[in-house]
Structure 1
Amino acid sequence: MNKTNHTALPPEESLADLAHFAWCALVRLGLARQDGQAQSPLSIHTFLVRWLADAQKQRRFPRSVASDIDSLLRLGRQKGPAAGLLKRLEYLHQSCTEPLAQQSDLFRLTHAIEYLRAQGWVNAVVTDEEWLSELLYAEYADVSALLVRKSELQRHFTEEGKQFAPVEFIVVGDTRVVGYALDTRALRYAIREQHAGWCLLSLLPSVEALAAATLSESRVNVR
């Protein structure tokens, strides 16, 4: 695992860059449609892939959105029109311009992580095999770090970014800093284990989501 912590922009600045990127893509597509281009799903897809490739090659946007451009372009080339690039760009723009309180659980978690990175924290996503608390603490003992299992991020959020089950983190460093980042973004959490220099923290779903999940599980059991 790479512990290198690249200089991170404040989350508000990163979001502004991302919103501007998505807005530019949508405006350019709109102008093309007015000119009689990009009318069918296939031609829309072709136009956006070409636009993304040009944006990447010419470095039109800040480095903060370079990974987003790369992932959208790669997805578009791999899946073709099924990638739904237009819907993804529309969602991206909407997500970055709506008030933070109205965003999904996953978006607010990402915003909290970006805040911590801007404060010099390292964020690492590890495999289940690497999830050995004491060994991870020893590896990251010289930095402030927030560690999480990739499998939990994949399993415990819906496609819409709603959390429905607890996600466990290892916090190496001052837990109060992480608590502040989560509190100010209305994210629920609990400290499960406290050790010297690190702790286990569980990010909890909303009360409503937890109740819905419990109800769904009880219905399955009744059947």
Structure 2
Amino acid sequence: MQQEELNKQLLTDMAQCALMALAFEQQSEMCGYGPTSEHKFLSQWITKAYKQKRFPRETAPTLEALIQMAKEKGQFAGLKASLVKLSNAETEAA
């Protein structure tokens, strides 16, 4: 059970990092607030995080799934919504 909780925490941390990076880019006016801009930034960020192995290997399957979803569905993949859901996983379990 502890390993499962650790994995959830790792995914929560990863999702929060992605959302914070997006917010920072938007605040510094490097990324727009529209769905296309957000999708482009998040898909690039997730791909780079995966390739650079920024997060523990337990997050790899989720990153792979998000990358695949972004490739298949484009801006309609709902990356931001998926990351918001992952980032709130800790509060939903409590």
- Sequence identity, in percent? 34
> In structure 2, how many angstroms separate the alpha carbons of the residues matched to 1:38 and 1:16?
29
1:99: how far off? 5.0
CA contact (8 A) 1:18 1:93 kept: yes
The residue that corresponds to 1:21 in the other structure is: 14
Letter in 1 for 2:80: L
TM-score, normalised with respect to structure 1: 0.40
* 1:44 paired to 2:42: no
| Larger strand fraction of residues | 1
> In structure 1, how many angstroms separate the alpha carbons of the residues matched to 2:92 and 2:71?
32
Structure 2: gaps spanning 5 or more residues: none
The residue that corresponds to 1:98 in the other structure is: 91
Return the structure number with greater relative CO, CA threshold 8 A, min gap 6: 2
Q: 2:52 aligns with which of 51, 55, 58?
A: 58
> In structure 2, how many angstroms separate the alpha carbons of the residues matched to 1:35 and 1:99?
31
1:35: how far off? 1.1
> In structure 2, how many angstroms separate the alpha carbons of the residues matched to 1:25 and 1:14?
17
**Greater Rg by CA:** 1
* 1:85 paired to 2:75: no
Q: 1:71 aligns with which of 65, 71, 88?
A: 65
Structure 1: gaps spanning 5 or more residues: 1-8, 102-223
> In structure 2, how many angstroms separate the alpha carbons of the residues matched to 1:29 and 1:84?
14
> In structure 1, how many angstroms separate the alpha carbons of the residues matched to 2:93 and 2:60?
23
Letter in 2 for 1:92: L
TM-score, normalised with respect to structure 2: 0.91
The residue that corresponds to 1:121 in the other structure is: none
Letter in 1 for 2:91: E
State the Cα deviation string for residues 30-83 of structure 1 (Å, max 9, x = none).
001101113211111000010011001100000111000000011011101111
State the Cα deviation string for residues 130-168 of structure 1 (Å, max 9, x = none).
xxxxxxxxxxxxxxxxxxxxxxxxxxxxxxxxxxxxxxx
| Larger helix fraction of residues | 2
The two structures, once aligned, show a CA RMSD in angstroms of 1.3
Q: 1:31 aligns with which of 11, 24, 39?
A: 24
Report the 3-state secondary structure (helix = DSSP H, G, I; strand = E; otherwise coil) of the residue aligned with 1:59: coil
CA contact (8 A) 1:38 1:47 kept: no
Q: Which runs of 4+ in 1 moved over 4 A?
A: none
State the Cα deviation string for residues 177-209 of structure 1 (Å, max 9, x = none).
xxxxxxxxxxxxxxxxxxxxxxxxxxxxxxxxx
CA contact (8 A) 1:55 1:61 kept: yes
State the Cα deviation string for residues 2-52 of structure 1 (Å, max 9, x = none).
xxxxxxx71111111111100100000000110111321111100001001
